Amino acid sequence: MNETPQPNSFRAGPDEDGRFGIFGGRFVAETLMPLILDLQGEWEKAKNDPSFQKELADLGAHYIGRPSPLYFAERLTEHLGGAKIYFKREELNHTGSHKINNCIGQILLAKRMGKTRIIAETGAGQHGVASATVAARFGFPCVVYMGATDVQRQAPNVFRMKLLGAEVRPVTAGHGTLKDAMNEALRDWVTNVDDTYYLIGTAAGPHPYPEMVRDFQSVIGTEARAQLLEAEGRLPDVVIAAVGGGSNAIGIFHPFLDDKSVRIVGVEAGGRGLQGVDHCASITAGSPGVLHGNRTYLLQDGDGQILEGHSISAGLDYPGIGPEHSWLHSIGRAEYVPIMDDEALDAFQMLTRLEGIIPALEPSHALAEVIKRAPKMGKDEIILMNLSGRGDKDIFTVGKILGMEL
Amino acid sequence: MTARMDKRFAALKAEGRPALITYIMGGDPDFETSLGIMKALPDAGADLIELGMPFSDPMADGPAVQMAGQRALKGGQTLAKTLKLAASFRETDTETPIVMMGYYNPIYVYGVERFLDDVIASGIDGLIVVDLPPEMDDELCIPALAKGVNFIRLATPTTDDKRLPAVLKNTSGFVYYVSMNGITGSALPDPSLIGGAVKRIKGHTALPVCVGFGVKTADHAKAIGAAADGVVVGSAIVSQIAGSLTKDGKAGPDTVAAVATLVRGLATGVRAARLVAAE
């Protein structure tokens, strides 16, 4: 692989072709190409339009509840006996996760573009709920593609989407998870090009999605950076976030990328272990390939067929990762580590008991990495973690594993 | 090989009829049956063969081609075996052009240079890679053209006059006009609209323009063939294969014959096409 020389800034990408080093790009069917060029044009205009930015900020403050708090996890810090642990409380956002930040931004773009129908894919259902929510708020019909397996294990979110007026279409192809839902959403888009806006939920897909989703999610890191400077008068030593496609992670990482003293750690789903195929650790155990419009690290076999992967967390159950993460890994600016299902489950329980916060299983992976690192760090050091979603949706999954009747 | 394809289109032009381009998925339902089907296609009236490279995530394909790919992968098909399929076909047929069609990832993982060398060695004449638009030409299109392998581009209803020159710039062999916005195997749109679209593309290129997506019957082939230089049939053929399989998904006794029968009917359609046009 071609290693990119260290750039002056880690925040300048992607280039005009949507590339982060060799990663990213626009690997889509010709039918979609004019659409993503249109989207790119509209996005360029919108991001420099003060009225767009103002509407985004107003909705952020009054609809999402921004800024989300930065919280010092005092008892967890005491319990672990090392670095001070701060959470960026994205789980307190409207709809219960960071996903709404991106959905609000994209629905405003859809409106600007005169689109009249929204489609989305979802894994855990957090992005589906956030999409259904903004579709309701702005009066768009909304179709959400969701793998049939995920429909089963994320029943509360399926019901929420239906309450919000969205149509949930279960996808039975493949293993019926996020990858298959994304394929089906792309098939819908290629069929309904004139009126439909595809609201991608993660920082992946063809350019400009990875850049655009990152920019909408960067509010997380921008706020956290200012909040921590105010609370502690300094930057964190480590920033940690869970990575599936990687939108919450790139959102909190990006504003810190040029702060050379800040270590950046992405946590991948190690599932049942990295030896077999029962994990979703695309960077740790995968290789570069092309899927869903971009070149990035993928779980694949020697013939370039995409593997299904596994994670206890539906939101991390994706065999790829956003291209900017692949680039940050390839140039060594960020490190990516795996956390196993059982470690995430332990972390989930620890946070619930020590801080009275029920985290989603996705950030429970990040938390498990915090639990490993904090005791080895000095008490004057600081870890910032993105608590990207709340765990209400996961209580049935967790209850089943812990053998509790619900 | 650009010569074999050019020669075939020139011969068809002299004959005054459009090409019948038949799509099969390499290795569907297994290597040997797939080779048997491929060998039966020219005799049944196919002028060019599109050989599908199975991929786990065929984002532009409808259920029929998706399932064909899954059958092939389940049967152990790989990109190396699809190349071998073409090479085996070439041992007995040196005239019928073969175009490989699929998605980029298996090629990328195989290695572009190695792939192109094997494409040439296997007697394959052109490539259609669905997820490589002109913006991504450096990946495979330019290296393929440099080695004398045709790179056939898809043009769609969303490809407007402003975009067409970019799409056609590095295209060779023929232009594949996708008759609708959608996935393979959907309903056929109004043939009269297709005629206009083909004319529009021909205003920008001297290459043959072949039309696919939604052609299922001899009548479709006849109607589309009236306006185009070629008619591509895919989903109908792979559905015919699916319908001929045993309960456990293995090749049935009539699998090859069932495909040949369908293709013979389609061939009658394209051969009647220009009579329609002349009326």
User: Each residue of B191-202: pLDDT tens digit?
Assistant: 778 889 999 999
Q: A334 and A266 in contact (C-beta within 8 Å)?
A: yes
Assigned token pair, A318: 């994706």
CB contact under 8 A, B60 and A34: no
Give per-residue burial for B167-193: e unless 16+ CB within 10 Å, then b. bbeebbbbbbbbbbbbbbbbebbebee
CA neighbours closer than 13 Å in the CB half-sphere of residue A340: 9
φ, ψ dihedrals at B63, nearest 5°: -55, -40
Using the predicted structure, report yes or no on whether residue B279 has a pLDDT greater than 80.
no
Could you tell me the residue range of the domain that residue B221 belongs to?
Answer: 3-278
B50 is catalytic: yes
**Secondary structure of chain A: what % helix, strand, coil (to 5)?**
50, 20, 35
Residue B63, pLDDT above cutoff 70: yes
The answer to whether B160 faces chain A, any CB pair under 8 Å, is: yes
Q: Where are the alpha helices (DSSP H) in A12-125?
A: 33-47, 50-59, 74-80, 99-112
Mean pLDDT within B68-93: 97
Res A152: pLDDT: 86
Interchain CB contact of A190 with B (< 8 Å):
yes
CA distance linking residue A345 with residue A272, whole number of Å: 12
Give the whole-angstrom CA distance, residue A340 versus residue A310. 11
pLDDT at B183: 87
What is the distance between the alpha carbons of residues B184 and B161, in angstroms, rounded to a whole number? 24
**Preferred mutation among A2, A15, A27 to probe B, highest tally of B CBs within 10 A:** A27
- What is the structure's pLDDT at B181? 86
Which residues of B fall within a CB distance of 8 Å from A23? Answer: none
B261 touches A at CB < 8 Å: no
Looking at residue A2, its pLDDT comes to 52
How does DSSP classify residue A64? I
Contacts with B132 (C-beta within 8 Å, 6 or more apart), sequence order: A27, B104, B139, B140, B141
Supply the pLDDT for residue B277. 53
Please write the tens of the pLDDT for every residue from B43-53.
999 999 999 99
For the question of residue A99 being annotated catalytic, the response is yes
Any long-range contacts for B192-201 (C-beta under 8 Å, 24+ apart)? B194/B224, B194/B227, B194/B228, B195/B226, B195/B227, B197/B157, B198/B227, B198/B228, B199/B227, B200/B161, B200/B164, B201/B155, B201/B164, B201/B168, B201/B175, B201/B177
Contact of A179 with A319, CB cutoff 8 Å:
yes
* CA-to-CA dists, residue A226 to A87, A89, A239, B169, angstroms: 14, 14, 14, 50
The amino acid at A11: R
Predicted confidence (pLDDT) per residue in B173-224, tens digit: 999 999 888 888 887 777 778 889 999 999 999 999 999 988 889 998 999 9
- Output DSSP code: residue A389: B
For chain A, the maximum distance between any two Cα atoms, rounded to a whole number of angstroms, is 57
Residue type, A134: V
Do B182 and A191 make contact, defined as CB atoms within 8 angstroms? yes
- What is the rounded distance in angstroms from the CA atom of residue A304 to the CA atom of residue A317? 19
Q: What residues of chain B lie within 8 A of the CB of A32, using their CB?
A: 158
What pLDDT was estimated at residue B182? 86
Chain B partners of A190 at a C-beta cutoff of 8 Å? Answer: 59-60, 181-183
The ranges of chain A annotated as CATH 3.40.50.1100 are: 19-58+98-213, 67-97+218-402
Closest by Cα among A350, A278, A363, A283 to A315: A363
Cα-Cα end-to-end distance for chain A: 50
Q: b vs e for A274-289, b when ≥16 Cβ sit within 10 Å of the residue's Cβ? A: eeebbbbbbbbbbebb
Partner A contacted by B154 (CB < 8 A)? yes
Give domain A67-97+218-402's CATH number out of 3.40.1550.10, 3.40.1160.10, 3.40.50.1100, 3.20.20.70. 3.40.50.1100
B156: nearest CB among A17, A31, A183: A31
Contact status, residue A154 vs residue A127, Cβ threshold 8 Å: no
**Chain A nearest-CA residue for B163:** A34
Residue B275 confidence (pLDDT) above 80: no
Residue pointed to by tokens 């009225």: A51
Using DSSP's 3-state secondary structure scheme, residue A240 falls into strand
What is the pLDDT at residue B274?
74
pLDDT in tens, B98-116: 999 999 999 999 999 999 9
The verdict on whether omega for the bond into residue A67 sits within 30 degrees of 0, i.e. cis, is yes
The CATH number covering residue B196 comes to: 3.20.20.70
Choose which CATH entry (3.40.47.10, 3.40.50.1580, 3.40.190.10, 3.40.50.1100) describes domain A19-58+98-213.
Answer: 3.40.50.1100
| Average pLDDT along chain B | 94
Mutation choice for A interface testing from B110, B158, B163, B167 by most A CBs within 10 A: B158
Distance CA B72, CA B34 (A): 9
Please choose, from the candidates B139, B82, B66, B146, the residue with its C-alpha nearest in 3D space to the C-alpha of residue A288: B139
Query: What residues in chain A have per-residue pLDDT under 50?
Result: none
Which residue is catalytic, options B28, B61, B118, B229? B61
Domain count, chain B: 1
List, as ranges, residues 301-360 from A with C-beta within 8 Å of B: 302-306
- The answer, as to whether pTM is greater than 0.90, is yes
Alpha carbon distance A37, A20 (integer Å): 18
- What is the DSSP code (8-state) at residue A107? H
**Strands ordered across the beta sheet of A19-20:** A19-20, A23-27, A293-298, A287-291
